[in-house]
Amino acid sequence: MSRLIDELKKLPGVGTKSAQRFAFHLLRSSDEDAAALADAVRELKASLRLCSICNNVTDVDPCAYCSSPVRNQRLICVVEEPTSIASVERTRGYMGVYHVLHGTLSPLHGVGPDQLRSANLLARVERGGVDEVILATSPTLEGEATASWLATALRNLTQRSEALQGKTVKITRIATGVPAGSDIEYADEVTMSRAMEGRREL
């Protein structure tokens, strides 16, 4: 029992109290239900893995995006988490592929460049198979720091890559600005500054 409670406490947001409640619930459940949960946990790890190309969570390797013949494999959108892909897919306008970092730079939490899964992105760009990298990390403190670090790393890389032979890889950042449908009077000053700086010619 206490071994189960200790394991349940490793789940995010679950403390001793919740873990005990879960454990007692499982104790009272039928043998089948408990077995089903145990199997589902085991199967998850057996069937899901990270795509070796883009780090997305997938059951086949490479993932559906990286193996898609209709997607532009030379256009990469870099996101923080596998769940961020859904935000970009909802736009129905993006037909490139992805790269998942599984986090952002966060020195306070001990996340440096080495803890991010960026090595396979850099390798992919260095091999010369990429035209544009869109940095779609969130416009938060950590997301901006990550985008700026990646932009520098990618620029240094493309300058010394032999496969690229002087070809430039476009490095772009998604727009920060006033959200669609909202009034500029509700925009905070940082957002409004960025909206003014990022103005585009019509």
Neighbour count for residue 87 (Cβ, 10 Å): 12
State in angstroms the smallest separation of the CB of 115 from a copy of itself. 19
3-state secondary structure 43-112: HHHHHCEECCCCCCEECCCCCCCCCCCCCEEEEEEEECCCCHHHHHHCCCCCCEEEEECCCCCEHHHCEC
- Neighbouring CB atoms inside 10 A of 66's CB total 19
Which region among 6-14, 26-34, 63-71, 80-88 touches a copy of itself (by CB under 8 A)?
Answer: 80-88
Work out whether 95 is an interface residue with a copy of itself (CB under 8 A): no
Ramachandran class of 128: left when φ > 0, alpha when ψ lies in -120 to 50, beta otherwise = left
Closest separation in Å from C-beta 82 to a copy of itself:
11
Closest approach of a copy of itself to the CB of residue 86, in Å: 8
- The DSSP letter of residue 25 is H
Pick from 76, 134, 146, 164 the residue near a copy of itself by CB under 8 A.
134
- Give SS3 for 184: helix
Our finding on whether 108 is near a copy of itself (CB under 8 A) is no
Task: Map residues 165-194 to x or -, x wherever contact with a copy of itself holds by CB under 8 A.
Answer: -----xxxxxxxxxxxxxxxx-xxxxxxxx
Can residue 196 be called a binding residue for a copy of itself (CB under 8 A)?
yes
CA distance 63 to 68: 8
* Residue span 10-49 as binding mask against a copy of itself, x where in contact by CB under 8 A, dash where not: ----------------------------------------
Q: Minimum distance between the CB of residue 91 and a copy of itself, rounded to whole angstroms?
A: 4
DSSP assignment letter at 131 = S
Of these, 54, 135, 158, 164, which contacts a copy of itself (CB under 8 A)? 135
Q: Do the Cβ atoms of 179 and 192 come closer than 8 Å? A: no
Size of the site for a copy of itself (CB under 8 A): 58
Closest contact distance (angstroms) between CB of 177 and a copy of itself is 3
Q: How far apart are CA 27 and CA 143, in angstroms?
A: 43
The least distance separating a copy of itself from the CB of residue 109, rounded to whole angstroms, comes to 16
The residues that touch a copy of itself, with contacts defined as CB under 8 A, are 77, 79-81, 83-84, 86-88, 90-94, 134-141, 143, 147-148, 151, 170-185, 187-202
